[in-house]
Amino acid sequence: MILLDRPIAIAGARSIARAVRSGELSAVAVIEDRLERIARLNPRLNAFTNILEDRALAEAAAVDALVAAGRDPGPLAGVPFGVKDNYDVAGRVTTAGSIINLKLPPAHEDAVLVRRLTNAGAILVGTQNMDEFAYGFTTENAHYGATRNPRDAGRSAGGSSGGSAAAVAAGLVDFSLGTDTNGSIRVPSSFCGVFGLKPTFGRLPRTGTFPFVHDLDHLGPFANSADDLALVYDAIQGFDAGDAACAQRRADPVSASLAAANDGLRVAVLDGWFHDNADDQGRAAVRTVADALGATGRVTLHGAERARAAAFVLTSASGGNLHAEALAERAEDFDPATRSRLLAGLLLPANLVLQAQRVRLLFQAEVSAAFRDHDLLLAPATPCAAPLLGQPTIGVAGRDVATRPNIGLLTQPLSFVGLPIVAVPVAGAGMPIGVQIVAPPWAEALALQTAARLEREGVVGLEAANP
Amino acid sequence: MITIEDIDRLAALAGIRIDPAFVAGVAQAMETLLAQGRLLTDPPLAAEIEPAAVFRP
């Protein structure tokens, strides 16, 4: 069932900002349009958990006032966006998809990235559904319901940032912010057919977001084009002392150089683990992208399976540790899908946790070696396209495996070593699937430029809002 | 095979209270986790490979 039932007049962050900045379109009109669309489609999609109508309209009016006064309203003037429910929004409790957090006081200020976007003129219209505490890949939340895929309402939107990706794919907002610990931006990008950026670990400050695994958590945006992704990325970069893991690096703006030719790139397809655990559609999507980039090489990252296992173990142990008090006092209030894994994580031998951190360094060396000979690496984002909601198993490498723990097979090893990755959507006969463009640390610009080139050539990207 | 008794024993040793209604689910999750854990320990790592640093002074 297709839920995208009408085109919206002006879509895309850059187009909206241009129209609003020039006075051709009012920010209030844009927000009213999106609020109407959300009211109509969200009851079925369940992408948003809260709509911030009053705030959005007030901020839009303020943007229009700046334009009327001849002042600069910012590069994202009037662009509607949403954030995953683990970002602080002033005056609201940051639930992180749980009911456990409802006991917390409301946030006293917005998360740093939300503040930066607001300062750039973007308009926050609501918070978005997710797996409880970001521990999942399907956004089938026991408390807040499942988010449905806008391209097929019977299918998963992916997770854990499922609401954020679905909202962009359905044209409810023009970009969203999500988080990615093990694949939670790249998986929903793949399932919903949108672009997603997981920057280098430490690039974007997580100040004002609810954590999951401190040394694996990343923040990043979703959008319907590489250009919009870059525009948003440029607005949110920069150091913030509130996040101990945030690197003290200067912002590295990419929008202005998005059309860079980057001729002669050495691009290789990831073989081994990343080939063996993908289905035919995923392999074909990678081949399509590789052919467009003239990639002929193949690289096997030895130890990818181990790296994935290490990420799996660390996640459970760290998540269990983070929620130990609530697990002792209110275990019954957790989503059953989350509870068992967090409790098991609490019982893991320390030996395995330390071993996982050792595996991390070993795999980092393996990846660094691969980037000595290649500029970019390619891999499918998910083992398959979006499964049905509630589907218990997926086919991987010729066998049926449990859906929920295995959707991240191809994302986990790469985020484990903090690499910047752009997930790009490749159309399929039915549902789309994502391809990961993997760059060396701090080379987000190269991955975004490559995504933009592929989009210009018509290799990636979908007509999301115009069915 | 991780049993309910295994989880009960582990939880008692670690001082963690787990509602009996949830123990079977924990046993299943632990089974999955330890299967992944076995991939970390076999083959063993060279002694000079240190854990990745988290602490930043």
| pLDDT tens by residue, chain A, 467 residues | 334 444 346 789 999 999 999 999 999 999 999 999 999 999 999 999 999 999 999 999 999 999 999 999 999 999 999 999 999 999 999 999 999 999 999 999 999 999 999 999 999 999 999 999 999 999 999 999 999 999 999 999 999 999 999 999 999 999 999 999 999 999 999 999 999 999 999 999 999 999 999 999 999 999 999 999 999 999 999 999 999 999 999 999 999 999 987 889 999 999 999 999 999 999 999 999 999 999 989 999 999 999 999 999 999 999 999 999 999 999 999 999 999 999 999 999 999 999 999 999 999 999 999 999 999 999 999 999 999 999 999 998 788 999 999 999 999 999 999 999 999 999 988 999 999 999 999 999 999 999 999 999 999 999 753 43
- Consecutive H or E run containing A166: helix A162-169
Among residues A62, A72, A75, the alpha carbon closest in space to that of A26 is found at A62
- Alpha carbon of A225: minimum distance to chain B alpha carbons (Å): 35
Among residues A108, A307, A358, the alpha carbon closest in space to that of B39 is found at A307
Give the closest of B28, B36, B56 to A312, CB-based.
B36
Q: What is the DSSP letter of A183?
A: S
Distance, CA of B50 to CA of B39 (rounded, Å)? 17
Contact of B13 with chain A, judged by CB distance below 8 Å, is answered with: no
Sign (positive or negative) of CA dihedral A40, A43, A44, A47 = positive
Distance, CA of A222 to CA of B5 (rounded, Å)? 45
Q: 3-state DSSP helix/strand/coil percent for chain B, to nearest 5?
A: 60, 0, 40
A103 is catalytic: no
- Inspect the interface and report whether the beta carbons of B37 and A352 lie closer than 8 Å: yes
Say what the pTM is.
0.96
Peptide bond into B43 cis (omega under 30): yes
Minimum Cα–Cα distance from A324: chain B residue: B16
Minimum Cα–Cα distance from B44: chain A residue: A355
Identity (one letter) of the amino acid at A70? G
Contact of B10 with chain A, judged by CB distance below 8 Å, is answered with: yes
Sign (positive or negative) of CA dihedral A319, A325, A326, A330 = positive
Distance, CA of A193 to CA of A198 (rounded, Å)? 16
Given the residues A161, A164, A184, A318, select the one marked as catalytic.
A184
